[in-house]
Amino acid sequence: MKKSVVIVDDSNFLLRKLQDFFEGSGEYEVVATGSDGNQAVALYREHRPDLITLDITMPEKDGKQSLVEILAGFPEARVLIISAVSGPAILECLKAGAKGYVEKPLRFEDEDFRAEFLETLGEISSLASDNRIGK
Amino acid sequence: MMENGSALETRFGETEIIRFLRDAVPDFEVCTRRAIECILAIPTFMPKGFAVSRHTDSPTTFKCAVQAGNSRYSAALYLGFNQADLKELSPEESDIGIIMDIMGEIANVIAGSFLGRKSFQAPFGDMHLSPPRFFQERKAEPESWSIHGILKANGVRIFLDFMIKPGQKDDLT
Amino acid sequence: MQPESGESVPSSLKFKESIRARLLVGFVLMMGATLAIGSVSVLAVASSRSAILADGTAILVFSAVAMIGCFMAVPASRRLARRITTPISALTESADRIARGDYATAIEAAGKGELSLLTGSFEKMRRKINEQMEDLQMQAEDKRRQARTLLENIDQGFFSFDLDLRINEDCSRKAMAILRMEKMEGRRLAEALRLDLHQEGLFRDWLEIVRESTSRLRWHKLSRLVPLQELRMGEGESSRLLQFEYRKILNNRERLSGILVFIHDVTESRKVERRLSDEKIRHEHKVKIILGVARHTQETMVAFLDDCSCRLLAIRQRLEAIQCRASETDPKNAVAMDESFRDCHTVKGNSGAFGFDGLTQAAQELEALLEARDPDKAPGLDPAGLAEMTRLVDSMSAETERIHEVHLLLSGNSEEVSVRLPERKVARIRELAEMVGKQTLSPEMSDLIETCKRLSYRSLESLSGKYRELVSRAAFKLGKTVEFTISPLNIEVDPEALLRVDEALIHLLRNAVAHGIELPELRLRSGKGMGKVELSYERASGTHIFMVRDDGQGVDTDALAEKAVKKGILPRASFSGLGSKEKLNLLFHPGLSATAMPDTLSGSGLGMSIANDAVRALGGSLSVETHRGEGSRITISIPV
């Protein structure tokens, strides 16, 4: 059973690359794509995917705010931050509840990068299920 | 006994900014080349080294910019290029929109990685990045010092400028 | 009766549960019962024996006996109880003490029989426990000391902090020294790392996230998100740059209990990196200079360098003038800045065209500074600004100097501008000049012809490379130290003339090294230094004069004559009548060598005669002048 994913990024170029990657992995199915923060929240509400990816720098509403809104409505949401920004901004997103992050630039041609990405995805699925058991 | 080691307290004036920019040139070179090479998957060449000055004299028709800032400083990264050259940058792409997207992404990644470096964060602190914006060429602000240089990829020249100054940012348009 | 669940052992007893009470009750009952039965039986016997005793008496007796019995039971039972409970309570107290941690107080043996056995074993147990506790304490003390020694001596700075961001006990002395804290244990992390409130908050957040993550991959990414990775300690030149490395500390249940921090002082390595990067840039600029100079003609270079020096000088003078002027708002200042800006702009443009990146960059920065003046305010003339401008002018001058050096190097060290001509053109000119020169000409025409002939002339220096090498190789082979010089340095020689005497010169130079210059020890004894061999040239009217001088031992004419006699060249009779000049002429005699041993280098004595013959064949002459112990001079003259 494939997991559903919603990809959100203001660059269409990247959306395409990410889509290729997720579908190529065989484990994920891309059910929707968006290009700004408002779309991110709406798409999550509509599709309730197993995973949603957000960029931090987006027009309308930035990644962090979208993250906060999504988690407010759906605390069990699994959000992956994919961003060029490094440092405290990502830390804040993780603190706010994002389950993982991947740094840009995305080097899909690099085998190690792809392997690490997949590992991060794997971690996110297992992390989320731990949370449900109870803390 | 507490040493004054907290860097966020320092106020950078013009001289310090110039010095910082000069020292940061190698870092900037690495960030820019890496970003372009990773995203476009082609090698970059440097016809002339990066330099620090007040002027950006890039004869281009188009600019893509990412603005950044916090309460004390504002910075901006500009990518300049000629619209006519765009097609050659990524020959497989037929859609100009996608290519502009790519330029935006490059600007985003350069800004993100350069501003995320500890060497930048230490004196200037964390900055919020704007999404990339496009506009026609206009003279850069004369008040700010910047690093500027030219990179060549697929024979296309990309003009790069990074500027930073104390104070709040003004709108680009 | 005993508590079955084992939850807690009673530490104090209520009286009704104690042994004493039970014994008392038992005794009393027993006494009472015995006495009762006894008195009943006695009474029964008494009443059956005599009817004297009335019923009332019987009861009185009975009661009295019973009371006496009870009174006696109490103390008796007390004594018995004490015999049992005393040792038991002593044991209890000891056990309590052990429970409180006092293993040292001994237990007195008490009680009899099984009880004494019990106290005995108890005492043994206590002693054993005491020993083991002391042992463990010593081991712990040892371990502690070892750890402390390690921490005091290890050269790596590290410390750890717990989940409340408090620094733990064990931190290396190096850490305290690096972070300039006398005591770190118990202090807040924020104090050690000089964090402000915001950063401290970030640390807390980061720690939270680290706690939740357990996988290797997450840590690898998370450790890169740590809020503080570098810190500059101190100010200015003596400041140190510290880098921090973080590791997780897990407790025995694999949960995060703290974070270990390694401190690396990277000041030096950073400086080295900076130096290397500066070197690289300097090197690249140097390469650009070389390429730039090589691509352009000498004239262009000279013009450029002159232009640069002039403009830089002008700028420098103007800056100095500005410094001297009292008032900042002197209008001359604005003019000076303007002109300097224009000069600088020109230099920038020129140098950019040549590709001299180093100079161009400095010019760019200076230009920007000069342009930045605000015409309404004092034109940017604060001392710092002026100092910066002067510094930039200095670095531009330094760059220009570097370009000049490379230019000199590539243009053959001559300040003169030279042009290149194909050799055949020059040869042709010379040919024509010689043909025309045979006629009678006016003085100006003669001059012209002469100048044309001299076009092909070159400096003796540039033509004598092979002689230099010959001399040095010969010297090396013979173990002598010889310096070869040309005189005069810049004299121009007709290469053709030199070619004619080339063979002779080679022999003469070889001779000078082989026979003229003495071995180093000999020279030292006579106070001479390095051997000198000189080739010189003079132009007298119609004659080329070449000279080979050496400051060696000179020719021993007498020995020469002696050898000639021995070899039968000279009749013994004429020996005494020979003048020194004639003796010297013997040098030219083939088959005569001034040294005992022929060696491959100077042949078997033929060199001089060959040289002489060659020169004669050219229509010239060769003469020798020599002074014993001082050296010789051989002169070759050939017609033009």
pLDDT one-digit tens code per residue, C476-513 = 988 899 999 988 877 888 888 899 999 899 999 998 99
Contact state of C218 with A100 under an 8 Å Cβ cutoff: yes
Site from A8, A12, A13 to mutate, B interface, most B CB atoms within 10 angstroms: A13
Give the other-Cβ count within 10 Å of C587's Cβ.
25
The answer, yes or no, to whether residue C369 has pLDDT greater than 60, is yes
Mean pLDDT of C597-615: 66
Q: Residue C167's beta-bridge partner residues?
A: C161
Contacts by C67-71, CB closer than 8 A, 24 or more apart: C69/C31, C69/C32, C69/C34, C69/C35, C70/C28, C70/C31, C70/C32
B120 within some domain: yes
Share in percent of chain C as helix, strand, coil (round to 5)? 60, 10, 25
Q: Is the Cβ of B108 closer than 8 Å to some Cβ of chain A? A: yes
The answer, yes or no, to whether residue C535 has pLDDT greater than 90, is yes
Q: Which of C230, C281, C357 sits opposite B118 (nearest CB)?
A: C230
Mean pLDDT of C536-553: 90
* Consecutive H or E run containing B78: strand B73-81
User: Do C510 and C616 belong together in one domain?
Assistant: yes
User: Nearest residue of B to residue C240 by CA position?
Assistant: B5
Under a CB-based contact definition with an 8 Å cutoff, are residues C550 and C517 in contact?
yes
Q: Is the Cβ of C279 closer than 8 Å to some Cβ of chain B? A: no
Q: Which of C202, C215, C217 sits opposite A88 (nearest CB)?
A: C202
Mean pLDDT of C425-439: 87
Site from C271, C278, C364, C377 to mutate, B interface, most B CB atoms within 10 angstroms: C364
The answer, yes or no, to whether residue B37 has pLDDT greater than 60, is yes
Q: Is the Cβ of B129 closer than 8 Å to some Cβ of chain A? A: yes
**pLDDT: is C73 or B4 the higher one?**
C73
C633 within some domain: yes
User: Do C528 and C628 belong together in one domain?
Assistant: yes
User: Nearest residue of C to residue A94 by CA position?
Assistant: C209
What is the per-residue pLDDT for B110? 95
Mean pLDDT of C204-214: 84
pLDDT in tens, C286-321: 998 999 998 888 888 888 999 999 999 999 998 888
User: Do C476 and C598 belong together in one domain?
Assistant: yes
Contact state of B5 with C233 under an 8 Å Cβ cutoff: yes
User: Do C450 and C340 belong together in one domain?
Assistant: no
Burial of C54 (0-12, 13-18, 19+ CB in 10 A): exposed
B173 within some domain: no
B142 Cα to chain C: minimum distance (Å): 8
Contact state of A95 with C205 under an 8 Å Cβ cutoff: yes
Round to whole Å and give the CA distance between C282 and C556: 60
Residue C380, domain CATH: 1.20.120.160
Q: Is the Cβ of A60 closer than 8 Å to some Cβ of chain B? A: no
C277 within some domain: no
Contacts by A15-23, CB closer than 8 A, 24 or more apart: A17/A106, A17/A108, A18/A53, A18/A82, A18/A106, A20/A108, A21/A108, A21/A114, A21/A117
User: Do C113 and C223 belong together in one domain?
Assistant: no
The answer, yes or no, to whether residue C598 has pLDDT greater than 60, is no
Structural domains counted in chain B: 1
B4 within some domain: no
C415 within some domain: no
Give the other-Cβ count within 10 Å of C521's Cβ.
8
Q: Is the Cβ of B92 closer than 8 Å to some Cβ of chain A? A: no
Structural domains counted in chain C: 5
Question: ipTM higher than 0.95?
Answer: no
Under a CB-based contact definition with an 8 Å cutoff, are residues B101 and B79 in contact?
no
B1 within some domain: no
* Amino acid letter, B162: F
Boundaries of domain holding C582: 458-639
User: Do C246 and C338 belong together in one domain?
Assistant: no
Round to whole Å and give the CA distance between C277 and C264: 21
B172 within some domain: no
Contact state of A88 with C209 under an 8 Å Cβ cutoff: no
SS3 B72: coil
B65 within some domain: yes
Contacts B29 to C, Cβ<8 Å: none
B32 within some domain: yes
Q: Which of B3, B26, B119 sits opposite C194 (nearest CB)?
A: B3
Under a CB-based contact definition with an 8 Å cutoff, are residues C615 and C598 in contact?
no
User: Do C448 and C467 belong together in one domain?
Assistant: no
C506 within some domain: yes
Contacts by A116-120, CB closer than 8 A, 24 or more apart: A116/C217, A117/A21, A118/A25, A119/C217, A120/A80, A120/C217, A120/C221
Under a CB-based contact definition with an 8 Å cutoff, are residues C290 and C406 in contact?
yes
Residue B39, domain CATH: 3.40.1550.10
The answer, yes or no, to whether residue B172 has pLDDT greater than 60, is no
Q: What is the pTM of this model?
A: 0.59
User: Do C174 and C74 belong together in one domain?
Assistant: no
DSSP state of C227: S
**Intra-chain end-to-end CA distance of chain C, in Å:** 146
C365 within some domain: yes
Tokens at C325, concatenated: 């002027």
Boundaries of domain holding B81: 12-166
CA dist list (Å): C45 to B86, C38, C50, C51, C254: 140, 10, 9, 11, 87
Backbone phi, psi, residue A79, to 5°: -115, 130
C250 Cα to chain A: minimum distance (Å): 19
- Strands C240-250 and C230-233 turn out to be antiparallel
pLDDT in tens, C574-587: 767 777 777 777 77
| Dihedral sign for Cα atoms in the order C183, C246, C210, C200 | positive
Give the other-Cβ count within 10 Å of B117's Cβ.
16
Q: Is the Cβ of B70 closer than 8 Å to some Cβ of chain A? A: no
Please, which chains are in contact with C (at least 3 CB pairs closer than 8 A)?
A, B
User: Do C372 and C253 belong together in one domain?
Assistant: no
Task: Identify the domain boundary among C124, C153, C182.
Answer: C153
B94 within some domain: yes
C124 within some domain: yes
Residue C613, domain CATH: 3.30.565.10
Q: Which of B1, B3, B18 sits opposite C233 (nearest CB)?
A: B3
Q: Is the Cβ of C388 closer than 8 Å to some Cβ of chain B? A: yes
**pLDDT: is C640 or C575 the higher one?**
C640
User: Do C126 and C203 belong together in one domain?
Assistant: no
What is the pLDDT of chain C when averaged over all its residues? 82
C270 within some domain: no
Q: Is the bond leading into C422 cis (omega within 30 degrees of zero)?
A: no
The answer, yes or no, to whether residue B144 has pLDDT greater than 80, is no
User: Do C522 and C618 belong together in one domain?
Assistant: yes
Contact state of A95 with C209 under an 8 Å Cβ cutoff: yes
* CATH numbers and ranges of domains, chain A: 3-129 (3.40.50.2300)
User: Which of the four pLDDT bands, split at 50, 70 and 90, describes residue C596?
Assistant: very low
User: Do C66 and C123 belong together in one domain?
Assistant: yes
pLDDT > 90 in chain C, percent: 18
User: Nearest residue of C to residue A118 by CA position?
Assistant: C217
C577 within some domain: yes
